Amino acid sequence: MNVQWTSPVSFVRNGRNKRIDSDEPVSKCPRLSESSSDAGYLSSSPGSPVWAAPLSGTTTHQGPSRIGQFLLIPIADRDGVHSALNVHTGEESVCKVFDMVHYQEKIRAHSILPAHRNISHIKDIILGDRKAYVFLEKDYGDMHMFVKSCKKLDEELASRLFYQVASAVAHCHQTGIVLGDLKLRKFVFSNEKRTHLKLESLEDCHVLEGDSDSMSDKHGCPAYVSPEILNSSGSYSGKQADVWSLGVMLYTLLVGRYPFHDSDPSTLFSKIRRGQFCLPDTLSPKAKCLIRSLLRKEPWERLTAAEILIHPWFHGAQERGSREQEASSPDQTVPTFCLENDESLFC
């Protein structure tokens, strides 16, 4: 396959933009959410306020495919994402495939957003006749699967990871970018020890025009959607809707399930509209305070993303974790958790 080099794209930091003459087919894998056990919870009908269009046809897992010097292998639990191996250098990365007519819109925010340690950057782009192949930094799995495997996190670990999440969101908001559809799956680990997080990509975000963050988009994951999106027939604050989603994420990290969940979308949306949830007594007062400050029914009563970063829970949780580590035995084992069979707790 011939590869034609073109002028570098200005917004691709440390990357190149290449053009190929034709596209080889890239395999697609089915969404994890389309399994029979949780399809009712993770997607709702087109008439609902929040829904995701189903994939057309029946998708099956296919083998590797080749594009330029890259070997692409679908990642089974992340729809539309491929593990990419440069066959010349052996370097690994992650590849997302977009239609040519949409790819510039999908990656537009990367040209606006200044670099941040908790946000992935584009390494390379290959343009085909019909598809654009966008290469990002290699990762070691997403937060959704990590929390699912641990069931829930202790406050010290949760505070370290959630601070990075909130930092990425605050950086986007400061630059005039609303993330929308914010959830655990959007954040991936950039190191094998799983201590450093990055926002996977900016493809679903909204670039604001001017100072107003007023939005009317109704799409997103049902478990993370805010009450005002369900209640309002008009516009809502995109930034404050993101903060609600952060509250759902924090609750899930610490409790091991969503604050609002039900297999029936209508019942789920009713629970979200009421905004009532339970906090376990095992949580510290500061953790409860932060969760309540994010999951407030009225958008203007919630903290901003920047205010989250100065909440005393972060300092308190890490201090408490250090004391517990000093008092514990040096012969520690990692506890094994039995996962619940109900896949609908996660999306």
pLDDT above 90: percentage of residues in the chain = 60
Q: What pLDDT digit, counting tens, does each position of 1-42 carry?
A: 333 333 334 444 344 555 554 454 443 333 333 333 333 233
Which is nearest to 269 in space by CA: 44, 31, 37, 34? Answer: 44
Give me the domains of the chain, ranges plus CATH numbers: 143-345 (1.10.510.10)
More confident residue, 342 or 183: 183
19-33, 34-48, 246-260, 309-323: range with lowest mean pLDDT: 34-48
pLDDT digits (tens, 9 = 90+) for 189-217: 999 999 999 999 898 899 999 889 999 88
Q: Residues 169-173: what's their mean pLDDT?
A: 98
55 pLDDT band (50/70/90 cuts)? Answer: very low
- How many other CB atoms are found less than 10 A from the CB of residue 190? 18
Q: Please write the tens of the pLDDT for every residue from 152-164.
A: 999 999 999 999 9
Answer for the pair 139, 123: CB distance below 8 angstroms, yes or no: no
More confident residue, 18 or 93: 93
Q: Residue 305 above 50 pLDDT?
A: yes
Is 21 a residue of the active site? no
Q: Has residue 294 got a pLDDT over 80? A: yes
Catalytic residue among 23, 38, 124, 181: 181
Yes or no: say if 35 and 52 are a contact pair by the CB < 8 Å rule: no
Statement: residue 46 has pLDDT above 90: no
The model's pLDDT over 137-148, given as tens digits with 9 standing for 90+, comes to 999 999 999 999
pLDDT the model gives residue 298: 95
- What pLDDT does 331 receive? 40
Residue-level pLDDT at 70: 93
